Each structure stands twice: as structure tokens, then as C-alpha cells.
Amino acid sequence: MSLITQLIDGLSLGSVYAVIALGYTMVYGIAKMLNFAHGDVIMVGGYICYEIMVSAGMPSILGILAAMVVCTVLGITIERFAYKPLRKAGSLAVLITAIGVSYFLQNAAMLIFGSETKTFTSVVPSFALAIKDLSISGLTLVTIVVSVVIMIALTLFIKKSKIGKAMRAVSEDKDAAELMGINVNSTISVTFAIGSALAAIAGVLLCSTSKGIMPTTGSMPGIKAFTAAVFGGIGSIPGAMVGGLLLGVIETLSKAYISYELTDAIVFAILIVVLLVRPTGLFGKKINEKV
Amino acid sequence: MLKVENANVYYGKIHALKDISLEVNEGEIVALIGANGAGKSTTLKTISGLLRSKTGSIVLFDENISHTEAHKLVSKGMAHVPEGRRIFLQMTVLENLQMGAYTTKASEVDALIEDVFERFPRLKHRKNQIAGTLSGGEQQMLAMGRALMSKPKLLMLDEPSMGLAPILVKQIFDIIKELHAAGTTILLVEQNAEMALKVADRAYVLESGRIVLSGTGKELAQSDAIKKAYLGG
Ligand SMILES: Nc1ncnc2c1ncn2[C@@H]1O[C@H](COP(=O)(O)OP(=O)(O)OP(=O)(O)O)[C@@H](O)[C@H]1O
Ligand SMILES: [Mg+2]
């Protein structure tokens, strides 16, 4: 395969990472916590779409919508019952809870859907775009377009909309936001809802690419996207996007030209180097520790 | 208008407010003075719902608000400018004002922003500037302007003169008087007891979490105990 094809595949993978990383970074920005269960929400989204589309034979668009609705509710529920009671607890307690939620979701999926890999059919009809001797699959194209649209829409939402501004206010100073009349709890819920709906879309796109789904499907992409978020500067929206895209491209190129087996090691080595040089990530702001 | 009765507030085991009772009547400026750590900010936070009292009650306009969530009090006419300004440093001046108007009817927001700019002309020229790059005085003006965006009936100010040059302190106090003249009731926390007692109709003195004195601004300004403790002689 040519370098251009590799780059396009990398961008496609990277844009999915970016969409997932947005969920991590938004939740971190507003709730100051790492939601390690975020990756498993991806998996749930994949299964819901699978059940509607493959098992029930309904149109793929219904599968995607159902996945988004279920994941949104799931995200709000996780926040409400697992994280909200710990709002004032130490970060270690929250971290352990998040890991617990992650295992809970994986085990629940194992019980409900079984532990074997199921064959996922792509939500995008198979077609290919050919430009000269370059051929881009429909799925790759749709993945990139959808992700870019999500990134632009989310950026505008956070910059311009009333709720988006409230989210920024809450992420800066919860008490001050509360004094403005902003309902901090519901703003945090909205953030989890948006992040989880995005995770559902990412899950469907990822399963369409990998053509399979199992209960641990979300783990690796989750960790990669988390890496991307840290890479870009956790808490930063543009950082999550750039971090995700870069990670996808690096991973794809490294698989193609360096070593398939060593790729993950390479990706994490790059992360370590970036963090050594810029501890706050590419776009990270200096963190003013407030007590 | 506001009546706090028998408030006891704890930070873990620290008993920060002890049996606090105070009252603010419509149209008054009431000052709350006391040394560092006396519990002034804690009192304001308890009134605005950020902290909870274990006992007693807080009544605003005949409604018991002891258990009302902080964000719901804004539309009931209360605004609290917290200690240290607490403006949104990464947002623009305009966005900060919009946040202040979070519960205000959309149709009124533009006019209110114009009002704030008229009162604080320096903010107008900096409306698209990131708030974190404003000077200390400008930040205080933004914090007050932001609070005015909800058209408060009761405005609580926590040390609005902190860290400002004398000329700015005077300006802030002039604005407090203007707001009062325009009908806003004010509960003012100040370290600058002299200035505070001058503008206040009544005042309370806090000491280690207890109210130890209260009276009219004039009375307190002349009391020997106050002169010694807070007015430098
Ligand atoms: N978050 C907190 N945790 C524990 N103790 C606190 C906390 N905030 C305040 N306190 C304690 O409660 C007491 C009252 O504090 P408060 O901030 O109300 O004082 P203040 O009168 O506003 O003082 P200052 O003039 O310095 O602002 C102090 O002894 C303080 O140490
Ligand atoms: Mg204080």
C-alpha cells in the first residue's frame, strides 16, 4: 500500500481516537476525573448497534441511534450512581471506582452477550472512492467525515452555546458557576451524556472497521484515546483532536513501516517523550493548583 | 428581607460559625467586619447556599432557603460576589457577564450588559479580552458587574476592596453607594472596617465565629472596642 493510503487510514483511525478522546477530556475538564469506564461505553454502543442491526435485521441508522440513546443514558447513570457520591472524595477513590465500573460493564456484557467474538457488519454500505490509482473505502471516508463534523460541531457548541459556556464555567470554578445560577450537577450530567453519545458513534465506527465485537472491544481503543487526550493536553478540546489524529497516524505508519508487534510500545514511548518535554501535553495549559 | 437565625457551620471538626443570627432589611447596607479567620466569608457562603448550617434557618423574602440549592437562589434575587473575585479567568469579559446573566431573561441581557459597561467603562473596551489578563481592579469590577447581571435585590460583597490601590477602593465604595441609592440592598464583608462602617447603616462584628457586637455604623465606629481592634487606635 502506498504512503498516501496509509496516511488516510491513519487519519481515519485517528479521527475515531479523537472522538473518544473528546469524551475523556471533556469529563476530565469538568469533573476533574479520569473516567476509565469511557472505553467500555464504546463497547456497549457497539453491542446495541449489533443487536438492532445484525440480530434484529433493522436498518443500520436505527442501530446507531439506539446505541447513542443507550450510551447517553448509561453515561448519565454511571455518573449519577458511581461518581456523583464521590464528588468530594479523594481522586484515588474516584479512580478505583472508575476501574470498577469498567470491569462491571465488561462482565455485564459477557453475561448478556457472551464472551465470544461476534461478527459485526459495517454500518456503511461497501463502496470505494477511486482517484487515479488511489482507492479509499466508503467506511474510511464516512469515518473521517463523521468525526470531523462531530469535532467542528462540538467546538462550536462549547464556544457559542449557553450550555457550552456553562460547561466551561463549571470546569473553571464550580462554586463560582453555582453562584451564577448554573446547576453544576446537571451540567456535569450533560457532559457525560455528550461524551457517551460520542463514544457510541466511535464504537459503531470501530466495530465496523474491525468487523468484530466482544466484551473487551472497548479497552484498547479506550486506553489509546486516553493516551491521545494526555498527548494533546488533558482537558483541552483541540488537544484531544490533534492528539487523536496524531496517534492514529503514528500507529498506522508504525504498523506499516516499522513493526506490527512493536507499535503499541512505540506509541507509548512517544507519549513518554512528549510528556518529558511538555508535561502538560501539546495544548495543555499550566495547571494552577488551587487548594 | 434576609434573616439568619442560629447558624452553626462546620468544616469537618472545625466549628467555624457559632450561633450566628443576623438580619438585613430592605434598602440597608449592612457591614460584617472582623479579623482574618473570624468567619465572614463562611457566613456569606452559608447564606448563598454553598455551605450548610447544621441548625437554625435562613429566610429570604419570607421563604425558608436553608436547604435551597445555591444555583436556585440567583433567580430569587440574591447575588454573591465571592472573596478573591472568582471570575472565569479563561473566558472573555463578555462571556463572564453572560454567565452572570445565566438565569436572566434573554431579552434583557443586552440592556444589562450596556448598564454594566456604563458603570464600568473600562470593561467595555476590554469586552473581548480574556478575563485572566485584566488588572486586579478591573477583575473586581468584572466580578461586581457579573453579579449585577442577575438584577439582584440583595447583593453580598466579600471584601471588594481587597488588594486594591486607595483610589480604586474609593471607586468601589462609590459604586456600592450608587447601587444602594438605586435600591439594591447590600451585605458587605470588609477588612477595611473604617470605610465599611462609614457606608453601613448597621454592622455586625464577628470574632472567632461569633457575633460579638452589633449596632449602627456610627455607633460601632465610635465604640472603643472597635477603635482598638479594627480602626488602629
Ligand atoms: N475550606 C475550609 N476548610 C477548613 N477550614 C476552613 C475552610 N474555610 C475556612 N475555614 C476556617 O474557618 C474559619 C473562618 O474562615 P473564613 O474564611 O470564614 O474567615 P474570614 O472571616 O472570611 O477571614 P478572611 O478575612 O481572612 O477572609 C477560619 O478559621 C478558617 O481557617
Ligand atoms: Mg474571607
Digit-coded pLDDT (tens) for A12-46: 999 999 999 999 999 999 988 899 999 999 999 99
The CATH architecture annotation of domain A2-277 reads: Orthogonal Bundle (1.10)
Higher pLDDT, A178 or A1: A178
Q: How far is the CA of B58 from the centre of ligand 1 (A)?
A: 20
The residue whose CB lies within 8 Å of the most ligand 1 atoms, and thus the one to mutate among B8, B13, B40, is B40
Q: Give the integer Cα–Cα distance in Å for B184 and B47.
A: 17
A286 has pLDDT over 60: no
A287 has pLDDT over 60: no
Q: Give the integer Cα–Cα distance in Å for B45 and B22.
A: 14
Residue A291 pLDDT: 33
The residue whose CB lies within 8 Å of the most ligand 1 atoms, and thus the one to mutate among B14, B156, B158, B211, is B14
Residue A288 pLDDT: 43
Domains of chain B: 2-77+152-230 (3.40.50.300), 88-151 (no CATH)
Shortest CB distance from A184 goes to which of B71, B80, B150?
B71
Q: What is the mean pLDDT of chain A?
A: 92
Strands A212-213 and A134-137: unpaired
Residues 163-222 of chain B whose Cβ lies under 8 A from any Cβ of chain A: none
Residue B232 pLDDT: 60
Mean pLDDT value of segment A62-79:
97
SS3 B210: strand
- Residue whose Cα lies nearest atom 18 of ligand 1: it is B39
Digit-coded pLDDT (tens) for A212-236: 999 999 999 999 999 999 989 988 8
CA distance B22 to chain A (A): 21
| Residue A64 φ/ψ region, left for φ over 0, alpha for ψ in the -120 to 50 degree band, beta for the rest | alpha
Percent of chain A at pLDDT exceeding 90: 76
Residue A58 pLDDT: 92
Q: Does A165 touch chain B (CB under 8 A)?
A: yes
Mean pLDDT value of segment A44-72:
95
Q: SS3 string of chain A?
A: CCHHHHHHHHHHHHHHHHHHHHHHHHHHHHHCCCCCCHHHHHHHHHHHHHHHHHHCCCCHHHHHHHHHHHHHHHHHHHHHHHHHHHCCCCHHHHHHHHHHHHHHHHHHHHHHHCCCCEECCCCCCCCEEEECCEEEEHHHHHHHHHHHHHHHHHHHHHHHCHHHHHHHHHHHCHHHHHHCCCCHHHHHHHHHHHHHHHHHHHHHHHHHHHCEECCCCCHHHHHHHHHHHHHHCCCCHHHHHHHHHHHHHHHHHHHHHCCCCCHHHHHHHHHHHHHHHCCCCCCCCCCCCCC
Give A91's pLDDT tier (boundaries 50, 70, 90).
Answer: confident
Could you state, in chain order, the average pLDDT of each consecutive group of 10 residues for chain B (233 residues)? 95 95 96 93 97 96 95 96 95 97 95 95 94 93 96 96 89 93 95 89 94 88 76 59
Residue B225 pLDDT: 74
Mean pLDDT value of segment A176-200:
96
CA distance B71 to chain A (A): 4
A290 has pLDDT over 50: no
A289 has pLDDT over 60: no
- Residue whose Cα lies nearest atom 29 of ligand 1: it is B37
Ligand 1 atom at minimum distance from B189 CA: 22
Residue A130 pLDDT: 82
ipTM of the complex: 0.94
pTM of the model: 0.91
Q: Counting one residue from A and one from B, how many pairs have CB atoms under 8 Å apart?
A: 66
Contact A172 B91 (CB under 8 A): yes
SS3 B202: strand
